């Protein structure tokens, strides 16, 4: 069983730069199936995972590999059918398809649309359903509230309900535990357990992350913390950190992601300084991070995805007026405006100009559009009168068109005056400027084309990297 601790035994590296934690070896023996499951070491029960998406399905498969009987719950019949056929509907996740096929064949993974029945059959229910933002940047519970309501009729004496969805501080105790109590007629902390344990996973490396990152757990009562920690210790190889409360665990995830947003915002400010003085910001960051206490992130055209653009607002929802947090959000969201301004200036106007946007998903290699900065980039280019085309190796022409751009095929000749990169897909390094005889500007939004050979007269501008510094340090 994984070791349960009250403080992580690993922490921030003092080496500067990127931190990569090694995966922990599995030390679990074969688990003894029991009903009901009460947290006894070496035993396994039944767990329902509500939300079988990019994070939920890997969790379900992980739990099943450690002897648990797993019920994946989803509102999408196609997802349920795929899981019940032993197929993973989640792409770009190494090892997941094989894992799903194996545990399904072993009879330890099935799926259903009936959340109440799954909760009724389960000892543990794990919810991993999105909480996003509304138009006022406030928490949007349109998915989570129905998910909680859907399991509530099946919550029973002895149930353990764990929220892995990132939540504002206090929601586990103040919003969702009472909701479950009202529907079930039971009392949280006495009749059933409620806890929060944030997912800390990176698309494309979920299974590796599960084996490496400490698992944080905090309950609404000490017994709930203990029961949830015992569950994770039975299914994960990384250590489990039993925190003092659900609120401390909720805050830990918001602190983690907000730190990254603030750090990126600072890097974007440093990029502005570098541009003012003709200095390559990536050279500066590499040099600064060689000092043990520096861990500066990289600048770019903006921050996308389900996490970093969202969770600072969840923190602000319970602690308004945090000036550094608010400013970082403004800086990072403003990066697309800076890119548009630079291209507009270099072209002498965007009206009538043909512009190609490379990279539409929020990050290269991940087919996900959540808060992708390509969306406002395409919108604002079009609003300025530009003729906007776009390309992403993960998206179909129809998906590109749905975002308001005309699709471009890789290698196709075109009359583009400007190319703007929004992701750092490796394919873009093989771009041939000869395809675009009218090309005048390359705006390198991720500083990934700094070594691309450009014809004389084509202007290059990165984020803190200029034409005169682009082929030097880090090239």
Among residues 260, 263, 180, 256, the alpha carbon closest in space to that of 216 is found at 256
Which tokens belong to 356? 């190609």
Longest dimension (CA), the chain: 74
For residue 473, give the nearest of 288, 278, 290, 287 by alpha carbon.
Answer: 287
Strand partners, 72: 49, 111
Cα 381 from Cα 383, distance rounded (Å):
5
- Separation in Å, CA 462 to CA 39, 325, 334, 422: 54, 25, 15, 11
Nearest to 72 by CA among 98, 46, 97, 92: 46
Residue whose C-alpha is closest to residue 111's, from 148, 147, 86: 86
**Of the listed 235, 307, 390, 449, which one is catalytic?**
307
Is residue 26 part of the annotated active site? The answer reads: no
Between 246-277 and 281-288, two packed helices, what is the crossing angle to 10 degrees? 130
CB 181 within 8 A of CB 237: no
CA gap 184, 180 in Å, rounded: 6
- Pair type for strands 418-421 and 160-163: unpaired
Contact, 465 vs 447, CB < 8 A? yes
In this structure, the chain runs to a length of 475
Cα separation of 396 and 390, whole Å? 11
Between strands 124-127 and 46-50, the pairing is: parallel
Closest CA to 411 of 435, 430, 395: 435
Contact between 255 and 324 under an 8 Å Cβ cutoff? The reply is no
Mind telling me the catalytic residues? Answer: 307
């Amino acid at each position: 069983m994984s070791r349960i601790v009250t403080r992580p035994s690993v922490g921030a590296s003092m080496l500067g730069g990127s931190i990569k934690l090694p995966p922990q070896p599995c030390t679990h023996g074969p688990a003894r199936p029991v009903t009901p499951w009460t947290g006894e070491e070496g035993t396994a029960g039944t767990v329902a995972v509500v939300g079988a998406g990019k994070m939920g399905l890997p969790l379900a498969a992980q739990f099943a590999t450690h002897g648990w009987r797993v019920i994946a719950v989803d509102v999408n019949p196609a997802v349920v059918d795929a899981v019940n056929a032993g197929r993973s509907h989640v792409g770009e996740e190494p090892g997941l398809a094989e894992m799903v096929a194996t545990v399904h064949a072993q009879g330890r993974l099935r799926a259903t649309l009936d959340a109440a029945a799954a909760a009724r059959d389960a000892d543990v229910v794990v919810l991993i359903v999105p909480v996003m933002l509304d138009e006022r940047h406030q928490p949007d519970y349109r998915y989570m509230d129905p998910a909680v309501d859907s399991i509530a009729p099946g919550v029973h004496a002895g149930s353990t309900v764990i929220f892995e969805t990132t939540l504002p501080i206090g929601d586990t105790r103040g919003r969702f535990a009472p909701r479950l109590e009202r529907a079930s007629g039971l009392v949280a902390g006495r009749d059933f357990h409620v806890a929060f344990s944030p997912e800390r996973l990176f698309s494309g490396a979920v299974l590796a992350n599960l084996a490496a990152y400490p698992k944080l757990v905090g309950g609404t009562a000490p017994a709930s913390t203990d029961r949830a920690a015992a569950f994770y210790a039975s299914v994960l190889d990384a250590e489990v950190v039993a925190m003092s409360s659900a609120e401390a665990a909720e805050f830990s995830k918001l602190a983690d992601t907000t730190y990254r947003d603030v750090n990126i915002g600072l890097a974007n400010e440093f990029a502005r300084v570098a541009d003012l003085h003709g200095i390559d910001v990536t050279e500066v960051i590499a040099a600064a991070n060689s000092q043990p206490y520096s861990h500066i992130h990289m600048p770019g055209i903006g921050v996308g995805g389900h996490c970093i653009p969202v969770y600072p607002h969840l923190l602000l929802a319970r602690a308004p007026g945090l000036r550094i947090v608010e400013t970082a959000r403004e800086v990072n969201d403003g990066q697309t405006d800076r890119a548009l301004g630079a291209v507009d200036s270099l072209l002498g106007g965007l009206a009538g100009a043909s512009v190609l946007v490379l990279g539409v998903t929020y990050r290269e290699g991940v087919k996900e559009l959540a808060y992708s900065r390509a969306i406002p980039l395409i919108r604002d280019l079009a609003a300025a009168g530009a003729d906007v085309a776009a390309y992403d190796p993960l998206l179909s022409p129809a998906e590109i068109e749905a975002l308001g751009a005309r699709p471009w095929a890789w290698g196709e000749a075109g009359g583009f005056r400007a190319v703007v990169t929004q992701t750092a897909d490796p394919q873009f390094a093989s771009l041939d400027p000869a395809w675009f005889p009218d090309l005048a500007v390359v705006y390198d939004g991720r500083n990934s084309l700094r070594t691309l050979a450009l014809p004389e007269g084509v202007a290059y501008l990165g984020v803190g990297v200029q034409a005169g510094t682009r082929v030097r340090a880090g090239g």
